[in-house]
Amino acid sequence: MLTVLIAVILGMVEGLTEFIPVSSTGHMILTASFIGLDENNPLLKTFMIMIQLGAILAITIVYRDRLLAMFRLRPVTVARGAERSASLNLVHVGLGILPALAVAFFAKDFIKSLFSASTVMWALVVGGIFMWLAESFSSKREPTAHTIDQITYKQALLIGVYQIISVLWPGFSRSGSTISGGLLSGVSYRASADFSFLIAIPIMIAATGYELLSNYQYISGDGLAVFLLGFIVSFIVAYIVVISFLKYIQAIKLKYFAIYRFALAGLFWLIIMY
């Protein structure tokens, strides 16, 4: 049964982990295990979808100016206060999301069959190694795209291809695969993060929207207030996390997230697998 306290805890975990490369899936599994929740409960699954929507709303607000610019509804304001048209456009976003969406659509049943605690644990480890190596490799060369507006169509597509790893391997981390993919494609750390967060919006709306349509019957009655509470908590926490991450991004290297993932995998083994 979902309570106010559980809604707050899960909302905070979702908001804290959805957009940084630490695997929100891994954290939600561990948290559910600590609390004693049944992950297969359809009500809980629907609640987790709802709080993901809160995180999506947060990232949409953070990037509202950029989104408006892509739809030609507002010019981009650069550092000196001048205004210009955005170089990043909907084609970039399309190239960044189509590979993952295509794989998710045609292999959705296969992907669901891959989900297990063991799969997530190993994804934490391998994903951490991948992130560390991507950062190490990229540090030896100058990026060709320092800002999000310098990302080429080829780089956007490559990032989209790297994103497939997180689709096929639960726990790998969507942001981890896309930011690392950006670094390996010649995109700067900050620009990779910006692009990763932007393409998360349509990806997550498509994924959560599909699941929500299949489970909407659970969002009703007395439990509606708890669902809304989780949504609000997730939104607030995700907004703070994304703003903070972008502000201190140069100091927060991927290798630190990798080390954290290794520690989390250790917890997984001790608590879930052992």
**Predicted structure pTM score:** 0.92
Q: How many CB atoms lie within 10 A of CB 273?
A: 10
Query: For residue 4, what are the CA distances in angstroms to 16, 229, 237, 268?
Result: 18, 8, 16, 26
CA distance 38 to 36: 7
CA distance 27 to 270: 14
Per residue in 231-273, pLDDT tens?
A: 999 999 999 999 999 999 989 999 999 999 999 999 999 988 7
Per residue in 118-170, pLDDT tens?
A: 999 999 999 999 999 999 999 999 999 999 999 999 999 999 999 999 999 99
For residues 167-175, give the mean pLDDT. Answer: 95
